[in-house]
């Protein structure tokens, strides 16, 4: 990412460069059917001065000045020109001053997502190439590859590429386009990934729920190369089969890599319960770590089948692994009624609250499973509990867990706080990027 600090968030609100009445001039000229006037802040060479622009309402530039990359529809005063979805537009404050280059989407509540804060930038192939190369260089600098051959190469907004996710599983890349900007540059992005990573296949999984909110239909399939019959990822020496085409998300949950490894270090001689196990990520680490037994529960039969395959792939003792296809909410109650007890429990549910609007309902669900989890733990047992809900803050999550422990009648300590692995960075100006939060709790002995 560019190191240019010229427009740091602390830059005071600039003097109007375009004149107080810039907004009015745009509106008036539109009404009169005349070409829109150019703002006084002239775009530099390389950016056609006729570039369409989003003009913000007065006082609605604050989050942009703090470099938050989303422009919500409520902040937009008017559109200068006639951009199509995915086109790059200039974002200007009410006085006409340049704020950012952004990808426009008239069909989303998020009218535009920022590509660049620098007026000199030209959003195109060279720009995208640099951004993706920067993202790769960051992973290299963080030595992510030391943990294996899987990593998130591009993590959307936090890598300066709003809406773009790229995961690498060995020599297969999976890309997910979640907004109009990357959608517009789909072919270019695929070419750049091919050049920079030379994968045997680039597979597209543009089927996230978020696409609907962006007015984009779902699309999946091979974009470059040929999908091998079997895709595998090696993580801290463990082999995992990845169903790139039909698995969840892009096929695997790379974000939990380090947390799974931590679980493995504490599993020896314990009876482990892994809820929402997917393809057995935490289970495999626990088995390798010397767990006495591992019960893994998920509602997806396909995921459990891959989990079983993964045990075999790694030569682990299948007799210690029990797989159960069930709704975790019901299964936990049954285990409680059977008076089953465990020494280590993992709760890694799906996103209950995609946004804060779902927080209340989601809180009840989190409290329910965690209360049951606490009840199933033996004294001195460990609970690894997670939320990947963007709508649940770290503070709220901790509060929910505290309530669950209280109602379960257990005394518990937080022994570690967990987040996503470093190939899922969080841009400081984009706190929404910090979706995954986890607590490791030890109940009193
Ligand atoms: N811990 C896993 C990832 C979990 S993803 C890993 O490390 O790879 C969440 C999982 O919850 C998915 O596999 C999904 O199939 C499962 N799931 C969602 N709702 C469920 C429910 N009510 N009961 C059981 N499993 C559920």
Ligand 1 pocket check for 282: Cβ under 6 Å = yes
Ligand 1 pocket check for 330: Cβ under 6 Å = no
**Domain extent listing, the chain:** 22-116, 125-225, 253-443
C-alpha to C-alpha distance for 230 and 386, rounded to whole angstroms: 30
**Per-residue pLDDT at 354:** 83
What's the CA-to-centroid distance between 379 and ligand 1, angstroms?
26
Give the number of the atom of ligand 1 that is nearest the alpha carbon of residue 256: 7
What are the C-alpha distances in Å from 350 to residues 150, 227, 386, 418?
A: 21, 27, 9, 16
Query: Which residue reads 């192939």 in tokens?
Result: 125
Instruction: Say whether pLDDT at 85 is over 60.
Output: yes
Instruction: State the helix-helix crossing angle for 281-288 and 257-265, rounded to 10 degrees.
Output: 30
What's the CA-to-centroid distance between 194 and ligand 1, angstroms?
32
Ligand 1 pocket check for 256: Cβ under 6 Å = yes
**Per-residue pLDDT at 356:** 84
What's the CA-to-centroid distance between 156 and ligand 1, angstroms?
23
What's the CA-to-centroid distance between 320 and ligand 1, angstroms?
21
| CATH class of the structural domain 22-116 | mainly beta
What's the CA-to-centroid distance between 2 and ligand 1, angstroms?
38
pTM for the full model? 0.89
Over residues 235-257, mean pLDDT: 98
> For the ranges 93-97, 208-212, 243-247, which has the lowest average pLDDT?
208-212
What's the CA-to-centroid distance between 19 and ligand 1, angstroms?
55
Ligand 1 pocket check for 352: Cβ under 6 Å = no
> pLDDT-derived band of residue 51, with 50, 70 and 90 as boundaries?
confident
Instruction: Say whether pLDDT at 265 is over 50.
Output: yes
> pLDDT-derived band of residue 355, with 50, 70 and 90 as boundaries?
confident
Q: Which residues of 57-85 are buried (b: 16+ CB within 10 A; e: fewer)?
A: eeebbeebbebbbbbeeebbbebbbebeb
| CATH class of the structural domain 253-443 | alpha beta
> For the ranges 29-33, 259-263, 418-422, which has the lowest average pLDDT?
29-33
Q: Are 366 and 397 in contact (CB under 8 A)?
A: yes
> pLDDT-derived band of residue 50, with 50, 70 and 90 as boundaries?
low
Instruction: Say whether pLDDT at 113 is over 90.
Output: yes
**3-state secondary structure string across the chain:** CCCCCCCCCCCCCCCCCCCCCHHHHHHHHHHCCCCCCCCCCCCCCCCCCCCCEEEECCCCCHHHHCCCCEEEHHHEEEEECCCCCCCEEEEECCCCCEEEEEEECCCCCEEEEEEECCCCCCCCHHHHHHHHHHHHHHHHHCCHHHHECEEEEEEHHHHCCCCEEEEEECCEEEEEECCHHHHHCHHHHHHHHHHHHCCCEEEEEECCCHHHHCCCCCEEEEEEECCCCCCEEEECCEEEECCCCCCCCCCCCHHHHHHHHHHHHCCCCCEEEEECCCCCHHHHHHHHCCCCEEEEEECCHHHHHHHHHHHHHCCCCHHHEEEEECCHHHHHHHHHHCCCCEEEEEECCCCCCCCHHHHHHHHHHHHHHHHHHHHHEEEEEEEEEEECCCCCCHHHHHHHHHHHHHHHCCCEEEEEEEECCCCCCCCCCCHHHCCCEEEEEEECC
Residue to mutate, 152, 209, 298, ligand 1, most ligand atoms under 8 Å from C-beta: 298
Reference 438, options 426, 343, 247, 421; nearest CA is 421
**Per-residue pLDDT at 152:** 98
pLDDT tens for 382-406 read 999 999 999 999 999 999 999 999 9
**Bridge partner residues of 405 (DSSP):** none
Is position 277 annotated as part of the catalytic site?
A: no
Write phi, then psi, for 417 (nearest 5 degrees): -110, 140
Ligand 1 pocket check for 298: Cβ under 6 Å = yes
Ligand 1 pocket check for 397: Cβ under 6 Å = no
Instruction: Say whether pLDDT at 70 is over 50.
Output: yes
Residues 6 or more apart whose Cβ sits within 8 Å of residue 245: 203, 220, 227, 251
Over residues 361-367, mean pLDDT: 97
Share of the chain above pLDDT 70, in %: 89
Residue to mutate, 260, 332, 350, ligand 1, most ligand atoms under 8 Å from C-beta: 350
Atom 10 in ligand 1: residue holding the nearest Cα: 276
Over residues 324-328, mean pLDDT: 98
Q: Are 266 and 282 in contact (CB under 8 A)?
A: no
- CATH number for the domain formed by residue range(s) 125-225: 3.30.750.80
Write phi, then psi, for 230 (nearest 5 degrees): -125, 130
C-alpha to C-alpha distance for 46 and 393, rounded to whole angstroms: 42
Instruction: Say whether pLDDT at 108 is over 90.
Output: yes
Task: Identify the residue with better confidence: 142 or 432.
Answer: 142
Ligand 1 pocket check for 255: Cβ under 6 Å = no
**Per-residue pLDDT at 49:** 52
What's the CA-to-centroid distance between 274 and ligand 1, angstroms?
10
**Per-residue pLDDT at 42:** 36
Over residues 307-318, mean pLDDT: 98
Over residues 243-260, mean pLDDT: 98
Atom 7 in ligand 1: residue holding the nearest Cα: 281
What are 41's two structure tokens? 């802040």
Reference 239, options 329, 331, 309, 141; nearest CA is 309
pLDDT tens for 135-147 read 999 999 999 999 9
Atom 22 in ligand 1: residue holding the nearest Cα: 327
Ligand 1 pocket check for 193: Cβ under 6 Å = no
Atom 11 in ligand 1: residue holding the nearest Cα: 276
Over residues 161-171, mean pLDDT: 98
Give the number of the atom of ligand 1 that is nearest the alpha carbon of residue 346: 1
Over residues 372-388, mean pLDDT: 98
Write phi, then psi, for 437 (nearest 5 degrees): -135, 145
C-alpha to C-alpha distance for 269 and 119, rounded to whole angstroms: 59
Over residues 82-101, mean pLDDT: 98
Q: Are 304 and 323 in contact (CB under 8 A)?
A: yes
Residue to mutate, 295, 299, 325, ligand 1, most ligand atoms under 8 Å from C-beta: 299
pLDDT tens for 123-132 read 999 999 999 9
Instruction: Say whether pLDDT at 412 is over 60.
Output: yes
Ligand 1 pocket check for 253: Cβ under 6 Å = yes
> pLDDT-derived band of residue 26, with 50, 70 and 90 as boundaries?
very low
Ligand 1 pocket check for 300: Cβ under 6 Å = yes
What are 269's two structure tokens? 């001689």
**Per-residue pLDDT at 43:** 38
Instruction: Say whether pLDDT at 34 is over 90.
Output: no
pLDDT tens for 186-199 read 999 999 999 999 99
C-alpha to C-alpha distance for 438 and 441, rounded to whole angstroms: 10
Instruction: Say whether pLDDT at 204 is over 70.
Output: yes
> pLDDT-derived band of residue 296, with 50, 70 and 90 as boundaries?
very high
**Per-residue pLDDT at 48:** 45
How high does pLDDT run on average in the chain? 90
């Amino acid at each position: 990412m560019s190191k240019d600090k010229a427009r740091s968030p602390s830059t005071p609100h600039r003097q109007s460069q375009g004149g107080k009445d810039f907004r009015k001039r745009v509106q008036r000229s539109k009404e009169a059917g005349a070409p829109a006037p150019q703002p006084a802040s002239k775009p530099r060479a390389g950016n056609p001065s006729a570039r369409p622009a989003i003009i913000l309402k007065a006082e609605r530039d604050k989050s942009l000045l703090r470099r938050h990359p989303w422009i919500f529809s409520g902040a937009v005063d008017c559109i200068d020109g006639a951009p199509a979805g995915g086109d790059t537009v200039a974002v200007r404050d009410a006085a006409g001053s340049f704020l950012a280059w952004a990808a426009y989407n008239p069909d989303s509540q998020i009218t535009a997502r920022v590509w660049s804060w620098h007026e000199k930038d030209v959003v195109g192939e060279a720009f995208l190439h640099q951004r993706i190369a920067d993202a790769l260089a960051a992973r290299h600098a963080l030595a992510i590859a030391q943990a294996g051959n899987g990593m998130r190469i591009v993590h959307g907004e936090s890598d300066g590429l709003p809406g773009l996710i790229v995961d690498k599983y060995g020599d297969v890349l999976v890309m997910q386009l979640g907004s109009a900007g990357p959608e517009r540059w789909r072919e270019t992005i695929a070419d750049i990934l091919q050049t920079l990573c030379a994968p045997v296949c680039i597979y597209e999984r543009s089927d996230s729920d978020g696409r609907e909110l962006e007015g984009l239909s779902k699309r999946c399939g091979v974009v470059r190369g040929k999908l091998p019959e079997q895709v595998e990822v090696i993580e801290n020496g463990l082999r995992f089969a990845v169903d790139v085409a039909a698995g969840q998300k892009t096929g695997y949950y790379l974000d939990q890599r380090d947390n799974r490894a931590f679980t493995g270090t504490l599993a020896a001689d314990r009876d482990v319960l892994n809820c929402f196990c997917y393809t057995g990520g935490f289970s495999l680490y626990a088995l390798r770590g010397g767990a006495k037994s591992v019960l893994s529960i998920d509602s997806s039969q396909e995921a459990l089948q891959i989990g079983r395959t993964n045990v075999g792939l790694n030569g682990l003792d299948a007799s210690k692994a029990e797989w159960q296809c069930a709704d975790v909410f019901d299964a936990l109650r049954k285990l409680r009624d059977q008076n089953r007890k465990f020494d280590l429990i993992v709760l890694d549910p799906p996103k209950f609250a995609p946004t804060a609007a779902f927080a209340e309902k989601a809180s009840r669900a989190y409290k329910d499973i965690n209360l049951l989890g606490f009840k199933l733990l033996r004294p001195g047992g460990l609970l690894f509990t997670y939320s990947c809900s963007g709508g649940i803050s770290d503070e709220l999550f901790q509060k929910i867990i505290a309530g669950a422990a209280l109602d379960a009648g257990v005394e518990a300590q937080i022994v570690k706080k967990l987040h996503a692995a470093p190939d899922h960075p969080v841009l400081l100006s984009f706190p929404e990027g910090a979706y995954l939060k986890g607590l490791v709790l030890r109940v009193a002995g």
